[in-house]
Structure 1
Amino acid sequence: MNGEIAKRLLKAARGAETGDIRLRDRFTVRHNGQPVTIFEVWSCQTNRRNPRTYQVVHLPKGWRCTCPDFEKHGEKFPCKHILYVQALGEV
């Protein structure tokens, strides 16, 4: 397994265990005529004083997240928020 993916998977698991990453909400929208579920993931792992909510979605072209880590590295490997949603098994 890629070391970066393993590192993010560990962060996702640790965050889920401590409650620092949680599923805040999920809702379905239409994208190109198809229903798509958007997962809102609340996270305070990076900054406890300023928690953030990120949107995670699985589109036909792949997973997307609104977090800075995905914006920077998303083409290479998934962020912890995507891994968290995948681990929930709701997709």
Structure 2
Amino acid sequence: LQVNNMPDFNEIASSIRGNLTMARSEVGGLPFRSQSAANQLISLAAANKPGEMESYWNGLSAAQRSDINVIIGDNSCNCSLM
């Protein structure tokens, strides 16, 4: 699902929308530093705004990306943001 190591945010947004309850329930298990960022990404996915997701993702720290990737990687499409 990746091209040139760039995540496919259309695919990721679609996957999150298909698993919104699960994705939201997993946010609480993330380190506190990443919980609000994860919620923002989930909200953007729910609103079907993959372009905004990508911009937001690019502004996160490497640590936040690593934390949040745990949720994204668990989704049914098995897509990973790393």
Query: TM-score of the superposition, structure 1-length normalised?
Result: 0.30
Structure with the higher helix share, 1 or 2: 2
Query: TM-score of the superposition, structure 2-length normalised?
Result: 0.33
Structure with the higher strand share, 1 or 2: 1
Q: Which has the larger radius of gyration?
A: 1
